[in-house]
Amino acid sequence: MTAKTFRFRPALVALALGLAAAAPAFAAYELYPGERLQGIAVPLKGPLTLSGWTREGRGIVYSLPVKAGESFRFRFKPRNNFVGLVVFDEQGEDEEELFSVQGTEADKVLKAETDTSWIIRPYYARMSPRRGPGAPYSIEIIPE
């Protein structure tokens, strides 16, 4: 039996390094299987609408960098009672959310205390009865 050597492929090494570099920025809030992290470019020059589809932990989780003193209005418009939205402070010492709502329209202004990133996670409630493969959502982020 001969020993096989494992050769690193440049594309795989680059992918692994990229994932490792992104991990510390999102260490406090782990992604569920099937979710992916998407950054939001700032500064926002006007309202930004995020819309998509989420189902049982699958979908997009957004990262919004904010500076101390900045405030943003969040308008959440689910089309299904089983869709919710949670906003976390990435650097928060506890895991308490800044804003959380499920199944109803919401309009909330959040103001940053320090330079940080907010993690915006739309979700489909797993404890709900099966109502199809998921549901759409719409989040409008307006700089104040």
- Per DSSP, the residues of 18-32 read HHHHHTGGG-SSPPP
Domain assignment of residue 14, yes or no:
no
Range of the domain at 49: 34-143
CATH code, domain with 79: 2.60.120.380
Burial of 68 (0-12, 13-18, 19+ CB in 10 A): exposed
Question: Within a domain: residue 61?
Answer: yes
pLDDT for 91:
81
Return the pLDDT at 125.
77
> What pLDDT was estimated at residue 2?
47
**Given this model, what pLDDT does residue 34 score?**
82
The answer to whether position 74 is within a domain reads yes
Per-residue pLDDT, 130: 59
Residue 135: inside a domain: yes
Whether residue 7 is contained in a domain is answered as: no
Indicate whether 24 belongs to any domain: no
Looking at residue 127, what is its pLDDT? Answer: 62
Q: What is the pLDDT of residue 55?
A: 77
In a domain, 12, yes or no: no
Distance CA 94, CA 37 (A): 21
Number of structural domains found in the chain? 1
Per-residue pLDDT of the chain (144 residues), as tens digits, is: 444 443 434 443 333 333 333 333 444 567 878 889 999 988 888 999 999 888 766 789 999 999 999 999 999 988 888 889 999 998 877 667 899 998 888 999 999 999 999 999 998 876 655 556 778 899 999 998
- Give domain status of residue 52, yes or no: yes
